[in-house]
Amino acid sequence: MPSTMNNIAKQGDHGAAMMPVIQGVGRAAIEIAAVLRGAVFRGALGGAGSENVQGEQQQVLDVLSDEIFLEEMRSTGFICAVGSEEQEELLVIEEYTSADYLVLVDPLDGSSNLDVDGPVGTIFSVVKRKTANSERPHVSDTLQNGREVIAAGYVLYGPSLMLVCSVGEGVHGYTYNPNNARFEVSHPDMIVPETGGYYSVNESNKDAWADDMGNKLDGMKEKTGLGMRYVGAMVADMHRTILKGGVFLYPADDKNTTGKLRLLYEAIPMAFIMEHAGGKAMSSDGIAILDLEPEALHQRVPVYLGSETNVDALLG
């Protein structure tokens, strides 16, 4: 009998509380996947004619995925607020302002891949509120370092529909089985290979990188002989790195002087997964992503994630 996501209830200190939340993520994933599959027939590809707080053109599907995800988090009854890439402010769930947990989410990561039918993803993490349950949830509840995260993961909308997550006791991959209309365990106990795999970076930015990262990358390539793969959607590039090994990086550059990727809903959840898969997740030499103290909901940071051998070969 294949294991389902019900086995999350037995994992770590928070499995029982996190199972309904992650099942809610699974329901949102199934709904979002269905919308993606039929988007071309509904004229839902392309821009929404609006910008998000990052000043990026929102895709129609960014907005729709955000709405679907929020609704599924609301329906769990465990979430008091959601911090989303697509929303400037913290979204308080009015029916459950006394609930214990908050979710940080990038509802549709890599959405620029959509009109070329490339892979995209959803990235999430869960933290316990710091404010009293009698108070109204506050953005300060989201500004916790990554060591406070109690669950995190991602959904990969690819040839199959996968949900990879951890509640602090291993990293486990679930694949949606359409025959049974549910997610079933397909990749138990995911561990990043120590050597091999690929380096994954948008190398066209190399001349603009900060911290002499161009020369450091050349040194790592010479030392490891790794090939290169780059999809342009963090979820897809990270999933391959965890399964095959290597290193994914997005350094700071002349345009993104503090990095491009968002700390709270891209870097921290992926760092939580990478560390629980036995890998390393750094924001600069000697500074782990999970040790950074967030200062703002949409803060950006440089990221270097992969096997210890390859991250060390890069950052020294």
Q: Judged by CB under 6 A, which of 118, 158, 214, 232 binds ligand P6P? A: 232
Could you tell me the sign of the dihedral formed by the alpha carbons of 176, 178, 184, 188, in that order? negative
CB of 233 to ligand P6P, least distance (A): 5
| Interface of this chain with ligand P6P, residues 43 to 62, rule: CB under 6 A | none
Query: Does the footprint of ligand P6P cover residue 119 (CB under 6 A)?
Result: no
Size of the site for ligand P6P (CB under 6 A): 10
Q: Which is nearer to ligand P6P, 214 or 232 (CB)?
A: 232
Contact between 126 and 150 under an 8 Å Cβ cutoff? The reply is yes
Query: Does the footprint of ligand P6P cover residue 118 (CB under 6 A)?
Result: no
Cβ contacts of 173-181, under 8 Å, gap ≥ 24: 174/4, 174/5, 174/26, 176/26, 176/29, 176/30, 176/33, 177/2
Q: Which is nearer to ligand P6P, 15 or 269 (CB)?
A: 269
Binding mask 25-44 for ligand P6P (x = CB under 6 A): --------------------
Q: What are phi and psi of 141, to 5 degrees?
A: -65, -25
Residues in the chain: 316
Query: Does the footprint of ligand P6P cover residue 202 (CB under 6 A)?
Result: yes
DSSP state of 133: T
Q: Judged by CB under 6 A, which of 234, 247, 273, 281 binds ligand P6P? A: 234
CB of 258 to ligand P6P, least distance (A): 14
CB of 205 to ligand P6P, least distance (A): 7
Query: Does the footprint of ligand P6P cover residue 110 (CB under 6 A)?
Result: yes
CB of 64 to ligand P6P, least distance (A): 17
- Cα 141 to Cα 131: distance, rounded to the nearest angstrom: 7
Q: Which is nearer to ligand P6P, 11 or 58 (CB)?
A: 58
Q: Which is nearer to ligand P6P, 19 or 231 (CB)?
A: 231
Q: Which window, 86-94, 125-133, 227-235, 270-278, contacts ligand P6P (CB under 6 A)?
A: 227-235
Q: CA 256 → CA 19, 52, 179, 192, 262, distances in Å? A: 37, 17, 45, 28, 11
3-state helix/strand/coil string of 164-189: EEECCCCCEEEEEECCCCEEEEEECC
Closest residue by Cα to residue 261 from 307, 221, 205: 205
Query: Does the footprint of ligand P6P cover residue 278 (CB under 6 A)?
Result: no
* Site residues, ligand P6P (CB under 6 A): 109-110, 112, 202, 232-234, 237, 260-261
